[in-house]
Amino acid sequence: MLASGKRLQVDVGWRRTISGAAVLGVLLTFAAGWVVAGEPGDGEEDNPKVELIDAADACVVSDFTMENVDGERVSLDDLLEDGVVLIDFWALWCRPCLRELDYLNDFNNKRGKDGFAVVTVNIDTPESISRVKSYVQSRGYGFEVLLDPEKELYYDLNVPAIPYSVLIDREGRIRSVHIGFQLGDEKIMEREIAALIEEGVANETGEETSGE
């Protein structure tokens, strides 16, 4: 079944033992994710449906530098200097991804001035690079479009499927994750973005107050 023809042969008994536990592994992973999703964040008081991953439990994303569709190099640290960042993985062949991009462009336009930026990462094949620029230009998207034809960032962030988006706070912590996209998801994403922007503003205000 592996197209590369690679076979990983291990002892039959051991294989049966460990393979049976795949289900258990999945369930435990499932439970782990549930735990990691954590308690609702500060935004819950304002809106009961906003559930951000607790900052203390959140994974930290290391800095990365990638090329955008114009051939310029963009780093995560530079983006985070301006505030909250939503990273979204997509491809031209993915219908839900294309629908989601319209909403992300809307978020970027509406909340860009509040310290928020959308960064999309295209994972089409190398030959599709030309089509990506052409598509993005024709749609008039204003967000940053990074190219990841070798799926380096895709694997670094262990993206399981697309569309896949992660919301990152100013400290580079992943505070929300979305697998897939259905109509209605954009409402949740919008509330999460607002909550995280407000959290950042509150923290800044708190720091200034304590500094005084």
Site for another protein in 85-114 (CB under 8 A): 92-95, 99, 102
Between residue 65 and residue 84, which ones bind another protein under the rule CB under 8 A?
A: 65, 70-71, 73
- For another protein, which is the closer residue by CB, 26 or 201? 26
Between residue 116 and residue 155, which ones bind another protein under the rule CB under 8 A?
A: 125-131, 133-140, 149-152, 155
Applying CB under 8 A, what is the total number of residues that bind another protein?
Answer: 95
Between residue 6 and residue 25, which ones bind another protein under the rule CB under 8 A?
A: 6-10, 15-25
- 8 Å CB contact between 160 and 177: no
Among 42, 114, 180, 198, which residue interacts with another protein (rule: CB under 8 A)?
A: 180
The pair phi, psi for residue 36, each rounded to 5°, is -65, -35
- Assess 45 for contact with another protein (CB under 8 A): no
- 8 Å CB contact between 138 and 70: no
DSSP label at residue 3: T
CB contact set of 76 (below 8 Å; sequence gap of 6+): 61, 63, 64, 65, 85, 168, 172
The structure tokens listed for 175 are: 């505070």
With CB under 8 A as the contact rule, which of the stretches 114-122, 172-180, 193-201, 202-210 interacts with another protein?
A: 172-180
Cα separations in angstroms, 178 against 34, 52, 204: 13, 11, 27
Among 46, 142, 160, 204, which residue interacts with another protein (rule: CB under 8 A)?
A: 160
Residue 23, Cβ neighbours under 10 Å: how many? 9
Amino acid found at 17: T
- For another protein, which is the closer residue by CB, 75 or 205? 75
- For another protein, which is the closer residue by CB, 74 or 188? 188
Residue 202, Cβ neighbours under 10 Å: how many? 11
Among 101, 121, 159, 193, which residue interacts with another protein (rule: CB under 8 A)?
A: 159
- Assess 202 for contact with another protein (CB under 8 A): no
